[in-house]
Structure formats: C-alpha cells, structure tokens
Amino acid sequence: MFLENTVDKSSGQGWIEVITGSMFSGKTEELIRRLKRARFARQKVEIFKPRIEIRYSVEEVVSHDDNAIHSTPVDSATNIILLASEVEVVGIDEAQFFDDGLVDVCNQLAYSGVRVIVAGLDMDYRGIPFGPMPKLLSIAEYVTKVHAICMRCGTLAHYTHRLSEDDKLIVLGETDIYEPLCRVCYSKANTRR
C-alpha cells in the first residue's frame, strides 16, 4: 500500500503522504504508526507539530487513544527545513494549523529525497477546506482519508461539528467541544443554529 522502504536520498526519490479526515478519525494514530514503522526500519525520523497544539503534551504528538511519539513544536513551517537535516522521514501533525508555506516545505523535503508524512483536518468546523490541506492533498503522491463514526447515527463521519457557539476558527478542544458527524447529521445540526 505505501512505499515504506528505505529512501535513497541521492536519487531524490522522496514523496508526500497525507492522512486526512475529521476529528476523531484516527489521523494522528495512523501518523504515529507509520513513523514508528520507519524507526523500526532504522530510518532517521523527525516529527514536528505547530507550537499551539498543546492539548495533550507540549513535546509529543499524542493520539486520542493516548499513543504518543516525541515531536518538536515549531512556530512556522520554515523551521521544519532548518531542523530536518539528514533525515529520511519527516512527520508533521496538525498540518491545518500551519500557513501555506508548509506546501513549499513539504515539496522541498520531498525533492531532496525525504519521505514526508502529513496529518491534518481536511475541513474546519464550518465545512470549509482548512489551511494548507487542500494544496497538500493536490501535490501528495499518497492520500489516505480516514473516517470517524457519526456520534448521532453511527454511519461514517467526515465532518467536524463544533458544539460550542464560539466562532473563532481555531478553538482547541476534545469531545467537550467537537463531535464527528456524517453529511446528513452535520447538515441538520447546522440548520438549527
């Protein structure tokens, strides 16, 4: 399914993998799984996340199932290039919180022979494509869309519904603020507001 073999950096054969979906769909879990496999294969791995993502840990990427892997928090995507020297695999979590500069960073890493694995929300709570994710999806060699389970009807969910009335774009939270919904339940929930 994925090209998880050792990258020959001299050949410039890097690529970009994007893992996307709604909240609670397993994006970070899948990112951690791939990064741990790369480490098991003795590849040099670096993991990054936006500095604002501190829900579970300041210096770890943590899934909702409490799986974790050490990461480096960064203020901007350009810091990733500076900190990712001599690596074979770069992991980036919560990509939606970065600016569009992340697209250039991922391309630069891939062209230099690095396997880049990015995880992030494809849409914000309003159902609008989120941050650099649409551009990353279009340039990635591999895209995995994962789904949560709709909290109202039990079908596959791919929308993130905000339960609070806060209208700021970025509000960090868990099940107290967000729930995954299917298309029909998301539409019903948003017509009531």
Query: Which amino acids are annotated catalytic?
Result: 94
Closest of 60, 109, 107, 59 to residue 87, by C-alpha: 109
| C-alpha dist (Å) from residue 111 to 41, 47, 71, 115, 171 | 22, 18, 23, 9, 34
What are the backbone angles phi and psi of residue 172, rounded to the nearest 5°?
Answer: -75, 135
Which helix (H) or strand (E) segment is 143 a member of? strand 142-146
| Straight-line distance from the first to the last Cα atom of the chain, in angstroms, rounded to the nearest whole number | 42
